[in-house]
Amino acid sequence: MIERLGKYTLKLNERPSIIAGAGVVGKTEGDGPLKEEFDRIFEDDTLGEESFEKAESSLQREAVLQAMIKSGKPIEDVEYIFAGDLLNQCTASTFSLRELGIPLIGLFGACSTMALSLGIASVFVNCEAARLAVAATSSHFCSAERQFRLPLEYGGQRTPTAQRTVTGAGASVVAKHIANKPCVEAVTFGKIVDLGIKDSTNMGAAMAPAATMTISDFFSDTGMKPDDLDMIVTGDLGYVGSELLLELLKKDYSLDISAQYNDCGMMIYYREEQDVHAGGSGCGCGGSVLNTYFMNRLESGELSKILFVATGALMSPTSSLQGESIPSIAHAVLLSKPDNK
Amino acid sequence: MIERLGKYTLKLNERPSIIAGAGVVGKTEGDGPLKEEFDRIFEDDTLGEESFEKAESSLQREAVLQAMIKSGKPIEDVEYIFAGDLLNQCTASTFSLRELGIPLIGLFGACSTMALSLGIASVFVNCEAARLAVAATSSHFCSAERQFRLPLEYGGQRTPTAQRTVTGAGASVVAKHIANKPCVEAVTFGKIVDLGIKDSTNMGAAMAPAATMTISDFFSDTGMKPDDLDMIVTGDLGYVGSELLLELLKKDYSLDISAQYNDCGMMIYYREEQDVHAGGSGCGCGGSVLNTYFMNRLESGELSKILFVATGALMSPTSSLQGESIPSIAHAVLLSKPDNK
């Protein structure tokens, strides 16, 4: 049964389990502080493919296949894949999943996709529309740079507020509740928030207000307090967006989450040594970190309850060139450690 | 309750109702055979906006607002909007829905979006994850031409197999079952099918195999026969794709649906007079025709049961330039007349 809490939150009473998660990344991410966590690190960011877009497809397929291997289930048993990415027409997902022969629910949430896909997959499993579902997403530094910013060959200088798109992919396998795996307790799907930021090299500032809205909705819907959670982790606000989030939550909603807070975009790189400016971004940032670092710690019981909030900037290069601001969205998923931990 | 029929079909036992549908279109569509059906026809395809992309956003917002007015429900009561479109990063949907303050589940299914969004909205309502949801999509001839093909100013000749992207949008309002409105009985989410077609001016040929697969899955899952339905209608296969669909279903699955079959892309224009080559295409084609012509005839009881199958070509200009073929997908929704008709 699904219960609506407050105006925006779905309580998943069947508590679907994430029976496996996998995260795979490129070389730069593999040189970062989370290198021991990832399921696979590709030393060559092309993955042997002839274009960066094809490399991203391979990356996402690899995350799905690794997650399936860890789940111990045959891939033919998967009833739906919920997936999306940042490339025009979500081709990283569609080409990656083309040969699998599994129904695809294509999603678009920009960098919020991991929470969106995991949230919808969990709703489907909770209400028995699926017994086994996969949620997946990816991003690639090189395919994102040339699509959203400048050709890599141009060698443009990046601004201090700019984030580095993570070359990475994540996948979660969701199934009926079992005692020894982390589970999904609730989902808060977000509304679009747009405070008028137009600087596409400062995504953190554009997305922070959306995360603020979804996090405050989650707390007011559930009646929980930040202290009830071990961690509140955003997908890719980076250093600039994270600071703004903490400030906005305190100022506008009297919520202080600084004791519980972290951000996958701040966790994935060494800030100074790797020269990543404002941190990591991209669907694959939250996707790869959630499905490795956080899933491992939930599974072991080191973390009991976390809120994963992935944020997406819903602009396109065309909308920016036409002078539009950057509408953003954040979706949140409440995850718990296994019953037996 | 949701019941899984066969391998791919979900039977929605609560039979969520489509309490209102709306379709709005541009001038060319308003000059076609369905002109009396649409809720609004815009004589000026720019809708007074300064770009075609912004015009498409306005078109989708208009469809949502028209559907809400017809539903008699205040828009604040809508719990989720399920929407997507063809523009890069789905900006027609995100900018169109930005001001509404309603949680957005962003979808990407290319031209299959109307069936995808209606299918997921119906699953959510069926399992009480939502009491009131909107499914929406749009496309615009001018924004699609310049994004996928050539700048309009170029005046390029179109091939005989090319379809015309419909300037149009559709929206359905889905709620708990009521006796006097059409309802959704089942959904079949499709798998990606790719038979190697690379000609992006022949989308019908690329998408027909996906429709073939989903329609045959639907019949084998449900045990129904084409005669059990009044209509089987595809979203935008056009003249070329429709012919191939009938041929493939007969040859590969011994299914003859020619007595029940029609296609929104063949219905929306006068083929010869309007010089539309292989017919209409785009998310807004199936979206606007389903929510007007078909919803009106279901509501009156003139049609009892129809299968709406929307097909999407999941390529991007980048994937085509990189020599890739066109993966396609089709999602199907089984719709019934009101109980009291």
Asked if A133 is an interface residue toward chain B (Cβ–Cβ < 8 A), one would say no
- Rounded CA separation B209/B193 (Å): 7
Sorted by sequence, the CB contacts under 8 Å of residue A305 that are 6+ apart come out as A185, A228, A229, A230, A334, A335, A336, A337
Are A314 and A206 in contact, with CB atoms under 8 Å apart?
A: no
- B151 chain-A contacts, CB cut-off 8 A: none
Q: Give the pLDDT score at B86.
A: 97
CA A198 distance to own-chain centroid: 23
Q: Please give, one letter per residue, the 3-state secondary structure of B241-305.
A: HHHHHHHHHHHHHCCCCCCCEEEHHHHCCCCCCCCCCCCEECHHHHHHHHHHHHHHHHHCCCCCE
H helices of B47-183, where? 52-71, 91-97, 113-126, 141-148
pLDDT digits (tens, 9 = 90+) for B194-236: 999 999 899 999 999 999 999 999 999 999 999 999 999 999 9
* Residues A29, A46: Cα–Cα separation, whole Å: 14
**Rounded to an integer, what distance in angstroms lies between the CA atom of residue B24 and that of residue B140?**
11
| Contact between A87 and B318 using a beta-carbon 8 Å cutoff | yes
CA pair distance B341, B225, nearest whole angstrom? 22
pLDDT of residue B338: 98
Q: What are phi and psi of A309, to 5 degrees?
A: -120, 105
- CB distance B206 to B34 below 8 Å: no
Is residue A143 within 8 Å of residue A53, measured between CB atoms?
yes
Residue pair B138/B93 in contact (Cβ under 8 Å)? The answer is yes
Inter-chain CB proximity A314 and B106 less than 8 Å: yes
- Determine whether the interchain pair B106/A105 forms a contact, defined as Cβ–Cβ distance below 8 Å: no
Closest CB to B315: pick one of A10, A91, A110. Answer: A91
Phi-psi domain of B231 (left: phi exceeds 0; alpha: psi -120 through 50; beta: other): beta
- Residues of chain A under the 50 pLDDT cut: none
pLDDT tens digits for A39-92?
999 999 999 999 999 999 999 999 999 999 999 999 999 999 999 999 999 999
pLDDT in tens, B143-190: 999 999 888 898 888 899 999 999 999 999 999 999 999 999 999 999
Give the tens place of pLDDT for each residue, A301-333: 999 999 999 999 999 999 999 999 999 999 999
Distances (CA, A) of B206 to A39, A325, B106, B139, B148: 36, 36, 24, 19, 15
Instruction: Give yes or no for a contact between B248 and B255, defined as CB atoms under 8 angstroms apart.
Output: no
Q: Is B253 on the interface with A (CB under 8 A)?
A: no
Q: Between chains, do A106 and B105 touch, taking CB under 8 Å as contact?
A: no
CB < 8 Å to A147, chain B: 318
A98 vs B: CB within 8 A: yes
Instruction: For the full predicted model, state whether its pTM sits above 0.90.
Output: yes
Contacts of A45 (CB under 8 A, 6+ apart): A26, A27, A52, A55, A140, A141, A142, A167
- Taking only residues 137 to 196 of chain B, the set having a beta carbon closer than 8 angstroms to any beta carbon of chain A reads 147, 189-192, 194
CB within 8 Å: A108 and B87:
no
ipTM of the complex: 0.98
- SS3 of residue B88 by DSSP: helix
DSSP state of A87: S
- The pLDDT, as a whole number, for residue B157 is 87
Q: Do B88 and A120 touch (CB under 8 A)?
A: no
Distance from CA of B273 to the nearest CA of A (A): 33
DSSP letter, residue B207: H
Contact of A330 with chain B, judged by CB distance below 8 Å, is answered with no
| Average pLDDT in chain B | 97
> CB of A181 within 8 A of CB of A17?
yes
Tell me how close the Cα of A74 comes to any Cα of chain B, in angstroms: 15
Report the pLDDT averaged over residues B60-67: 98
For chain A, what's the residue count?
341
Q: What is the pLDDT of residues B2-53, one digit of tens each?
A: 999 999 999 999 999 999 999 999 999 999 999 999 999 999 999 999 999 9
Written as one letter, the residue type at B127 is C
Checking if the pLDDT of B238 tops 90, the result is yes
**What are residue B139's DSSP bridge partners?**
B168
